[in-house]
Structure 1
Amino acid sequence: MTIRRTLRMDGPVYWPGDDGYDAHRKPLNPDLDPRPAVVVRAAGPADVRRAVLAARRHALPFAVQATGHGTHVAHDGALLLHTGAMTSVHVDPDRRVARVTAGTRWRDVLAAAAPFGLAPLSGSSPDVGVVGYALGGGLGWLAREHGLAADSVLRAQVVTADGTVRTVSADRQPELFWALRGGGGSYGVVTALEFRLHPVDRVYAGAVTFCRDRAADTLAFYRRWIERVPDALSTALLLTRDGKLVVKALYTGDPDRGRALLAPLWRAAGPALDNGMRVVEYAQAAMGGTFARTFDQVRALDDDLLAALVAEPDATVEIRHWGGRIARDRGAAAHRDAPLSVILDTVPSPRVAAALRGAGLGSSFLNFLADPARMSTAFTPENWTALRRIKASYDPENIFAAGLAVPSAPVTPQAVAVERAGRGYLPSGSAALSVSTPLS
């Protein structure tokens, strides 16, 4: 049977030359011009299942795209599953929970949650897709107080490589659930997510702009100042290409208290050129982000790194405060203990690169990663070992290998025992699950 006969879908199917093929094959990145063998625009989980099985049956590479934000590889010759039509949001205000389907964007969740005084752990842009963001970890402006978006996920519906539609949670296939929450799209196609909402209505948020001439003193003050601030306050410092120092901040408490907390930092930075801090609904507080050409987490903003960043004129540099709830949670995503991250929108100069080698972890964060070869750097060694073993259990044929993918690893009893003892992601008495099923 040919693949054209196999792909009997509820949603449209686009072949090269069809109207709609070009519109649905392209990701957000303008440098990529992928030429998939076919694009399937799924109407629901049944279409997702059919697409996965068709790709297996016809030995086609398989790739998934919703908004296109997370596509970093041109999936030439693949079956490209487009989930952008699968959009729905349901908010349960009593449980403070939202359920979304695969193509939903954060703007829809923000709009649905706001009337109840609730907020999701969304990121800097409301146009980003919920599922890809959460699978990649999800570092937003509420993360210090409420954790990464991945850690807020309560339940996921996922189509695994054998074509089974599964609903997983902390007490139902817990290994797969743990891996999905920050391990990326290597384990299946997530068709729906259920996650916590938080009682955040109005926030004190925005950006204050200063001249860059006091940047060194400000950064030196900042590294001491962050040790005393509450989890409800999140900040980032930007050194811009046009000679400015920008302080971004979001505080979920009383605005007067927020002003008092931030005032010492503003005094260190000097007279403000522009003060954009204001009290707004959380849904209106998105402050954008820096394109992460270079990303690392740092143990400390030491003197060498501070001086190198301040002296970097041809880059936008963002220094962001982590810690708080991020460090206390135990999910699969990220290196949790680092207090700060450094982002540059370009390749660093030799001086900055050397300073980052001295102070940095050499880490990445999945939402900010573009190079599949550096996938392992987004996780601790223990979590990387666990993710690879779980990959081998649920996707032994490596169907979900496109883009930022976790490779499988051999499963040994010794590895299972070590991971259980060290990571604690399995409930007491749970058994490891192996669910490889031949294609019928």
Structure 2
Amino acid sequence: MNPSPDLSDLRAHVAGTVLNPDDAGFAEEVSGFNLAASFHPLVAVGVTSEADVVEAVRFAARHDLPIRVLATGHGPAAPVTDGMLIVTRRLDSLHVDPETHIATVGAGLKWEAVQAAAAPFGLTAITGSSPDVGAIGLTLGGGIGPLARSHGYTSDYARSFRIVTRDGEAMTASATENPDLFWALRGGKGGLGVVTGMSIELVDLPLIYGGAVIFDTPHIETVLRGWIDWTTSAPDDVTTSIAIIRFPPAEFVPEPLRGRHAIALRFAYPGSAEDGERLVAPLRSLAPAIMDMIGELPTSKMGLIHNDPTDPLPAWDIGALLTGVDQELATVVLGQLGAGVQTPLMITELRHLGGRTAVDVPEGSAAGGRSGRFSLYSIGVPDPALFATVLPAAGGALSDALAPWVAPQTMVNFAGAFSSRAHFESAWPPEIFSRLETVRKAYDPAGLFTYGPAAG
């Protein structure tokens, strides 16, 4: 590990916060959403502008400090024990142009801010399932959400990025400026520089028909099997998922769901309420519901479909893409997660992909996972005492049982913490990964922007 450098020169040139581990406020500066993340860099820089990022990157390059970036902290809990952590949450500029349908978004913003600014114009971003996630972090990894089948990846709508590269140069990456870097940033995730902002195209869509309907324990099998059958002929403009959930007996959980083992069906259709009601009817009729929250929904409230937590907590998860689902898979899932089965896996979701997610943008992008037809995502009980052995054992057992359906490639935003070089490479098809490595080496030959396990 490099010794901690003298920070006086950096402090003289950065308007934001420059802290070492002994400084007051260091722990708060490096904390994020995932409380299980262990961040102990030699220096943390809370940047307030692109100029601050330039100075921080130049300083790190002079002192041979590897750089990592923290915005909202929803990403994998890979430990950081050296180098520089650049905290971008103060880069919160935002402008929505209702004429061009372009939002210009700072690197520290979450989707909820973007959606709130777009809503008065009847516009929406194509976001992930959680409005609490960082807008740029999701986009850099591709991004799939409630409108994935009808509208594709979030990164498909990115129109440009502002990025500071290894030599401390701030530049624009777009289809016409530095197009190789633009290609890589639309799904390539990390190892390219510090993204300070982006412009993204918004969609004219003020309302959708969507929400969730929740069924009790005795109906888990019927609903899972019925949903699987329904997906075989589902329209490309309807996005659904199914989640087996163990609700804790906590006050923040709605009273009808507290302590229940249930199955939630999520539904989103970017069309009229009349057509949406007709399309969801076969799913609603699978079993009696505990709660039915599907109806006309402003796109600024799409986060209610998945209703992901917004308060920081320790997080453990695994994910994969699946080549398909069938009734044999349902049998396996029920054996691992169904009624009467005890497991520390709190939520396991199967999400229907395909449709627009399978179609790349005309100019191409680095987003992986387009061949996946379903995704698997599982979240463990948020107890760090279970993270070392209990949850990996349970997640491993589920993954092993579903191995016949697991796709050879995954998607970087669903991959979790990389366990090996092979796991890292599997986040993209081989031809995309090879091209990504070429672009990364071109812009950061010394690997200043640490990302992924080392080769070899």
With the length of structure 2 as denominator, give the TM-score of the two structures: 0.84
**1:417 maps to which residue?**
none
CA distance in 2, matches of 1:184, 1:219: 33
Q: Which residue identity is paired with 1:273?
A: I
CA 1:23–1:353: 2 relative to 1, 3 Å: closer
CA distance in 2, matches of 1:49, 1:407: 26
Match of 1:296 among 307, 320, 323: 320
CA distance in 2, matches of 1:25, 1:144: 36
CA distance in 2, matches of 1:324, 1:289: 24
CA distance in 1, matches of 2:396, 2:289: 32
CA drift at 1:265: 1.8
Q: Which residue identity is paired with 2:318?
A: T
**1:4 maps to which residue?**
8
2:137 is aligned with 1:132: yes
CA distance in 2, matches of 1:166, 1:40: 20
Which deviates further from its counterpart, 239-248 or 38-47?
239-248
Which deviates further from its counterpart, 237-246 or 251-260?
237-246
2:393 is aligned with 1:382: no
Please give the root-mean-square deviation of Cα atoms over the aligned residues, in Å: 2.2
Match of 2:300 among 269, 283, 300: 283
Q: Deviations over 1:204-258 (max 9, x none)?
A: 2211111243433433332332233333321111122333121111111111211
2:72 is aligned with 1:62: no
**1:50 maps to which residue?**
55
**1:181 maps to which residue?**
186
Match of 1:104 among 98, 103, 109: 109
CA distance in 2, matches of 1:244, 1:169: 45
- Map 1:311-330; keep pairs closer than 5 Å: 311=335, 312=337, 313=341, 314=343, 315=345, 316-329=347-360, 330=364
| Residue aligned with 2:402, SS | helix
**1:307 maps to which residue?**
331
CA 1:109–1:350: 2 relative to 1, 3 Å: closer
Q: Which residue identity is paired with 1:295?
A: G
**2:371 maps to which residue?**
337
**1:426 maps to which residue?**
none
| Residue aligned with 1:378, SS | coil
**1:371 maps to which residue?**
417
**1:361 maps to which residue?**
407
**1:274 maps to which residue?**
291
Match of 1:113 among 112, 118, 132: 118
Q: Deviations over 1:371-424 (max 9, x none)?
A: 23322121111111111111111110001114xx38689xxxxxxxxxxxxxxx
> Percent of aligned pairs with the same residue?
33
Contact map agreement 1:204 1:280 (CA 8 A) in 2: yes
Q: Which residue identity is paired with 2:262?
A: K
Contact map agreement 2:377 2:414 (CA 8 A) in 1: no
CA drift at 1:120: 0.4
Contact map agreement 1:27 1:71 (CA 8 A) in 2: no
Q: Deviations over 1:122-173 (max 9, x none)?
A: 2222221111111111111122112111111011111111111111111221
CA distance in 2, matches of 1:212, 1:362: 33
Which deviates further from its counterpart, 214-223 or 204-213?
214-223
Contact map agreement 1:38 1:80 (CA 8 A) in 2: yes
CA distance in 1, matches of 2:16, 2:47: 5
Contact map agreement 1:147 1:326 (CA 8 A) in 2: yes
Match of 1:227 among 215, 232, 256: 232
Which deviates further from its counterpart, 331-340 or 94-103?
331-340
Match of 2:36 among 31, 50, 55: 31
CA distance in 2, matches of 1:163, 1:189: 10
- Map 1:207-246; keep pairs closer than 5 Å: 207-241=212-246, 242-246=260-264
CA drift at 1:12: 2.1
| Residue aligned with 1:107, SS | helix
Q: How many residues align?
A: 406
With the length of structure 1 as denominator, give the TM-score of the two structures: 0.87
| Residue aligned with 2:123, SS | coil
Which deviates further from its counterpart, 331-340 or 219-228?
219-228
CA distance in 1, matches of 2:455, 2:178: 18
Match of 2:273 among 248, 255, 258: 255
Q: Which runs of 5+ in 1 are unaligned?
A: 410-440
Q: Which residue identity is paired with 1:302?
A: D
| Residue aligned with 1:248, SS | strand
CA distance in 1, matches of 2:22, 2:6: 18
CA drift at 1:202: 1.4
CA distance in 2, matches of 1:338, 1:292: 23
CA distance in 2, matches of 1:366, 1:288: 22
CA distance in 1, matches of 2:165, 2:131: 28
| Residue aligned with 1:325, SS | helix
